[in-house]
Amino acid sequence: MKSGWMRLLVSVTISASMGTAMAVDCAAIRAQYNCPANEKYPLHLSFDDGPALQTASVLEVLQREQVPATFFIIAEKIDCETVLQQCQQADPASDGKDCTAYRECQTRREILGKTKQMGHMIGSHSYRHLRYSGVAPDRMQRDFLASKRLLEPFFTTQPPLFRLPYGDGWFNRQQTGHVMQALQEAGFQHVDWQLSAFDWDEKNQQGDKILQNVLTQVCSRQKGGVVLFHDGVENQSHEGRLFTIEHLGEWLPAMRCVVDFKPLDYFVKGYQSR
Ligand SMILES: [Zn+2]
């Protein structure tokens, strides 16, 4: 016997393969997550740890579903000059430009350019994705500024946006005020999240657990916000958060039963678009 969600998945899969939009059974979704009837909560999607080579698929899904999003970028992943130097050192006889790592880096830069072109918001997620509360102040400042220099052509706001890795500096802001202070001195505006998909956790990467995480939070609180997803994996640049990338196109129509997708400025004020 198939659960309501399995039936839904089948219909979404069929509709995707037929290329037509088939109605999602919203009554079943609301019942499954105990969501009040006729209520929709505002939600903004954010993606951390990219860009990955597969982020292009995320952009396709967002375009198809007409959903705006914000991407917080690990600047090291688009630092192609450094990658080129590493390639040249590994093979001093070549100019390094044929090196796979360099070509992949350039592809990631192109994907980031496309992300901006499509109208999504782009912010920094630091240069090296460290736990900055444990990093010496001068090193922390260098890292923040390096990310600012690399991402400058891609930022979409003034001041540029930033999200700290691991929720560090705002989760524990009572003890780590210096991290938020350093961010401010580097000229960034910090953006946190109110809901998490917990999609980084491998035990959630099966069935509909990630969708369930989001809708359970939305419907139990009867409140939306900025939700945290991941298109990238913090410590690898070639491959992204594949389960999320693969299934996002199924989750968004189901989420729409309960949420209205909003741009970032619905929740976050204090910056100007550029
Ligand atoms: Zn991260």
pLDDT digits (tens, 9 = 90+) for 45-58: 999 999 999 999 99
Q: Read off the pTM.
A: 0.91
Average pLDDT, the chain: 91
Instruction: Pick 123 or 20 by higher pLDDT.
Output: 123
Rounded to the nearest whole angstrom, what is the distance from the C-alpha of residue 192 to the centroid of ligand 1?
12
- For residues 152 and 163, is the Cβ–Cβ distance under 8 A? no
What's the pLDDT score for residue 18? 43
Rounded to the nearest whole angstrom, what is the distance from the C-alpha of residue 177 to the centroid of ligand 1?
19
What's the pLDDT score for residue 163? 97
Rounded to the nearest whole angstrom, what is the distance from the C-alpha of residue 144 to the centroid of ligand 1?
14
What's the pLDDT score for residue 105? 97
Rounded to the nearest whole angstrom, what is the distance from the C-alpha of residue 163 to the centroid of ligand 1?
8
Rounded to the nearest whole angstrom, what is the distance from the C-alpha of residue 256 to the centroid of ligand 1?
26
Question: Sorting pLDDT into bands at 50, 70 and 90, what band is 173?
Answer: confident
Rounded to the nearest whole angstrom, what is the distance from the C-alpha of residue 124 to the centroid of ligand 1?
10
Question: Sorting pLDDT into bands at 50, 70 and 90, what band is 238?
Answer: confident
Rounded to the nearest whole angstrom, what is the distance from the C-alpha of residue 74 to the centroid of ligand 1?
8
Predicted confidence (pLDDT) at residue 171 exceeds the cutoff of 50: yes
Give the CA distances from residue 225 to residues 217, 239, 266, in Å, rounded to whole numbers and listed in that order. 10, 28, 9
Rounded to the nearest whole angstrom, what is the distance from the C-alpha of residue 54 to the centroid of ligand 1?
17
pLDDT digits (tens, 9 = 90+) for 193-222: 999 999 999 999 999 999 999 999 999 999
Give me the domains of the chain, ranges plus CATH numbers. 40-273 (3.20.20.370)
Rounded to the nearest whole angstrom, what is the distance from the C-alpha of residue 166 to the centroid of ligand 1?
6
Span 253-261, average pLDDT: 97
Predicted confidence (pLDDT) at residue 236 exceeds the cutoff of 70: yes
Predicted confidence (pLDDT) at residue 19 exceeds the cutoff of 70: no
CA 61, 240, 186: angle at the middle one, nearest 5?
A: 95
Rounded to the nearest whole angstrom, what is the distance from the C-alpha of residue 232 to the centroid of ligand 1?
8
What's the pLDDT score for residue 22? 61
Amino acid at 121: M
Rounded to the nearest whole angstrom, what is the distance from the C-alpha of residue 169 to the centroid of ligand 1?
13
Rounded to the nearest whole angstrom, what is the distance from the C-alpha of residue 48 to the centroid of ligand 1?
5
Question: Sorting pLDDT into bands at 50, 70 and 90, what band is 237?
Answer: confident
Least confident piece of the model among 117-131, 143-157, 158-172: 158-172
pLDDT digits (tens, 9 = 90+) for 59-110: 999 999 999 999 999 999 999 999 999 999 999 999 999 999 999 999 999 9
- For residues 104 and 87, is the Cβ–Cβ distance under 8 A? no
Rounded to the nearest whole angstrom, what is the distance from the C-alpha of residue 128 to the centroid of ligand 1?
10
Share of residues in the chain with pLDDT > 70 (%): 92
Q: Which two tokens stand for residue 271?
A: 């910056």
Rounded to the nearest whole angstrom, what is the distance from the C-alpha of residue 178 to the centroid of ligand 1?
20
Rounded to the nearest whole angstrom, what is the distance from the C-alpha of residue 270 to the centroid of ligand 1?
23
